[in-house]
Structure formats: structure tokens, C-alpha cells
């Protein structure tokens, strides 16, 4: 499958330039069929559905593992990126007195908030400031010391679209006896990822964005060397011995983080999107996304927009941010013209994926020009 063939499988693209993959994925025809089949099962044979959807969750873990260079037994099926982030923090606490965690100022809240909970007050939180829109490795390096227990970052930051070199950060963390925790909500599904090769310890993401899946579905990766750590919660799904009340032992793989039957409908919804991404190939996806984001950045700047995403490919992926006082008004103007983007406060964002093309971005440019003409 190539990008054009995937595009033809997405109904919304017949009328709209949908470029909000960093928020929620559009459904493909294959996804729609899977959901139709799910409804037939739950309507006509709910008992059979129970076993059928459990298989879908296992399939999702295996597909995700292929997409990020991991093994399926290192992947837990969770409800969100934030759920995975909390699991990583649970395994690192209680932390020694005097320890610290290093973030950057672009960190997503779910990376930070778990460290602020009761019982973790002895962990100092260090924030590295960006310079010229870039979080420089040297500044991260200067913030890390022998008391650092973790570096916690967003692989691609959700506001600025800045991309970290997580392989380099993993080496930095390990050289100081720390671990690397990565929020992959804006990278998984949009680029080549090799968690094993890069040495990442924990990686958490959501299914509903670049992975073209459902809300309420997430994936948490814990490297094998961390799978002996004890979770703070347990359920029948985490027990090696199943339902028995008098014998409990955590499973020796990432299923130890499972509590019970997860989001069955979400698993069925999410499986086809990852299958299709793998059919296109992560190398093709990354090249395509970088081409579109570069094209969009150039065109937005040429039309006077205050783009805050770095120009260099090594520092960006698919999230493009711009600052404007009337971001909400501009978003609504584009939405009414059939161009789907995003805003939050004074941040305007556009997120082209592999199923988009330059014609979609051209519709954004036309919208910028029309908006400027209408507000002169």
C-alpha cells in the first residue's frame, strides 16, 4: 500500500483536508467494516464476541510492537498515554531522598503530574529551558547528575512540534544511572521507531492519533529489564494463575500491568489502522510526513504566519505550531472551508499525516490568504 492508496480508504478526505492527526484519527473503510462486524457480534452473538475481542487486544499489542521496534510481551494495553506515564513513575518510586527527574519546558502535563503526587515530594523536578525553539542536548546534559533517576520527555512536543533525539537521551540517562521515559503520543505511527536499538526504558502513547486508532486505547512499553518491577495494582489479568483467589504471582511480561478485560471496542477499532500503517511502511510514512510538514512550514512563513516549529528535519516531524492572537477564529474559518486543524489558546496547529498530500496543504494556504483578505 502506498500513501495514495491509503488516502483512498479514508472517506472524510473526499471532501475535507483533514490535518489533525495529532488529535484524533479519521476512520478508514477497513476500520468502519471492523466496527460494523463488532456490532453484528454484540447484537447477534455477544458470547462469541468475548473471545473474539480478546484476540484483537493481543493483535494490537503485536502490531504496535512491530511499529516501534519492540517485542509484544513488552507492550501493555492501557487506556491512554497518561496511564502509561503513571505506570513508569510507579515503578521508579519510592525514590531515594535527594533524587531528581529532568524534563524540558515543553513537557506534557502527564509526564510531570505523577511526580507531584503525595509520597514523591523528595524528588526534585528540573526543567530545561529551550533556546530559539530548540531543547538543546547540551542543556539537558547539564541538568543531569548522579542523583537523576529519570529523564522524562515528549518525543515530539505537542505544542511546538520539536523532536528530541531519544537515542542520545537514552545514552545520557544510562550513563548517569537513570532511565528514559518517553511520551510518544506525537511520534508513534508517524516515523520509524526502534525502541530496542535506541535503548528506551519506558514509552507510552495513545492509539487515537497518528496510529489511526480509537480513543480510550493506549500502549505502554517497558523494556524487558524493567519487567521484574512490581506494579501497585493487580487484577485477574495480571495474575499468572488466573482467577484463583489463593495463589497470586505477577505475570513475567507486560500483561502484569493489565487489570481486567480492556477496551474491546477500541481494540477492534484500532487494529485496522496499524495494519495499514505497516502495509505502507514506517520509512515511507516518515519521509512523507517530513515532506508535508516542511512544505507547510515554508508556505505558512511565506504567508506571514509566526511558525514556532523548527525548520530542520532532525528537530521536527508532523506537528506544526504557530502563534496567533486569533487562533480560534482562524481555526473556525478554516473548518468552515473544509480544512481541519487545531487551536488551543493562542496556539494554532496543523498535523499532516501519510494520507495527506500537498493539495491538502494548498487548501490551508488558500485559507490563510482568504482569511487575511477578509480581515484587512
Residues 329, 312 contacting (CB under 8 angstroms): no
Question: pTM of the predicted model, to two decimals?
Answer: 0.96
Q: What is the model's pLDDT at position 93?
A: 84
Cα 260 from Cα 194, distance rounded (Å): 29
List the domains of the chain with CATH numbers: 3-27+281-374 (3.90.1150.10), 36-277 (3.40.640.10)
List the chain residues with pLDDT less than 50: none
11 Cβ contact list (under 8 Å, min separation 6): 26, 27, 29, 32
| 174 to 141, 169, 177: CA distances (angstroms) | 12, 9, 5
**7-62 per-position pLDDT tens digit:** 999 999 999 999 999 999 999 999 999 999 999 989 999 888 777 777 889 999 99
**246-259 per-position pLDDT tens digit:** 999 999 999 999 99
Q: What is the DSSP letter of 250?
A: B
349 beta partners = 321, 342
- Give the torsion sign (CA, 147, 149, 154, 155): positive
Residues 191, 164 contacting (CB under 8 angstroms): no
Residue 11: how many CA atoms within 13 Å on its side-chain side?
7
Amino acid at each position: 500500500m502506498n500513501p495514495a492508496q491509503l488516502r483512498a480508504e479514508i472517506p472524510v478526505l473526499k471532501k475535507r483536508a483533514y490535518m489533525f492527526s495529532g488529535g484524533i484519527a479519521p476512520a478508514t473503510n477497513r476500520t468502519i467494516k471492523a466496527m460494523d462486524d463488532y456490532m453484528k457480534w454484540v447484537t447477534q452473538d455477544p458470547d462469541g464476541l468475548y473471545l473474539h475481542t480478546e484476540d484483537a487486544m493481543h493483535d494490537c499489542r503485536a502490531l504496535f510492537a512491530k511499529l516501534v521496534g519492540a517485542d509484544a510481551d513488552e507492550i501493555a494495553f492501557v487506556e491512554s498515554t497518561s496511564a502509561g506515564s503513571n505506570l513508569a513513575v510507579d515503578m521508579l518510586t519510592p525514590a531515594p531522598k535527594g533524587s531528581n527527574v529532568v524534563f524540558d519546558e515543553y513537557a506534557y502535563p502527564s509526564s510531570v503530574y505523577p511526580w507531584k503526587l503525595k509520597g514523591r515530594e523528595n524528588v526534585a523536578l528540573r526543567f530545561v529551558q529551550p533556546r530559539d525553539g530548540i531543547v538543546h542536548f547540551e542543556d539537558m546534559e547539564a541538568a543531569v547528575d548522579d542523583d537523576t533517576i529519570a529523564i522524562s520527555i515528549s518525543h515530539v512536543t505537542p505544542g511546538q512540534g520539536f523532536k528530541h533525539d531519544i537515542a542520545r537521551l537514552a545514552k545520557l540517562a544510562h550513563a548517569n544511572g537513570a532511565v528514559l521515559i518517553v511520551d510518544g503520543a506525537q511520534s508513534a505511527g508517524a516515523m520509524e521507531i526502534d525502541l530496542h536499538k535506541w535503548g528506551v526504558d519506558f514509552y507510552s502513547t495513545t492509539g487515537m492519533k497518528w496510529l489511526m486508532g480509537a480513543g480510550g486505547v493506549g500502549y505502554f512499553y517497558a523494556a524487558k529489564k524493567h519487567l521484574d518491577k512490581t506494579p501497585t495494582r493487580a487484577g485477574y489479568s495480571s495474575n499468572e494463575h488466573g482467577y484463583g483467589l489463593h495463589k497470586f504471582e505477577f505475570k513475567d511480561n507486560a500483561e502484569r500491568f493489565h487489570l481486567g478485560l480492556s477496551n474491546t471496542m477500541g481494540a477492534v477499532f484500532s487494529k485496522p489502522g496499524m495494519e495499514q500503517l505497516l502495509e505502507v511502511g514506517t520509512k515511507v510514512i516518515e519521509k512523507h510526513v517530513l515532506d508535508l510538514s516542511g512544505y507547510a512550514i515554508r508556505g505558512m512563513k511565506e504567508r506571514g504566519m509566526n511558525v514556532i516549529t523548527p525548520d530542520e528535519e532532525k528537530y521536527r516531524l508532523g506537528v506544526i505550531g504557530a502563534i496567533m492572537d486569533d487562533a480560534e477564529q482562524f481555526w473556525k474559518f478554516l473548518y468552515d472551508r473544509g480544512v481541519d486543524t487545531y487551536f488551543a489558546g493562542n496556539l494554532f496547529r496543523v498535523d499532516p499525516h501519510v494520507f495527506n498530500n500537498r493539495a491538502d496543504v494548498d487548501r490551508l494556504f488558500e485559507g490563510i490568504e482568504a482569511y487575511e483578505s477578509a480581515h484587512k
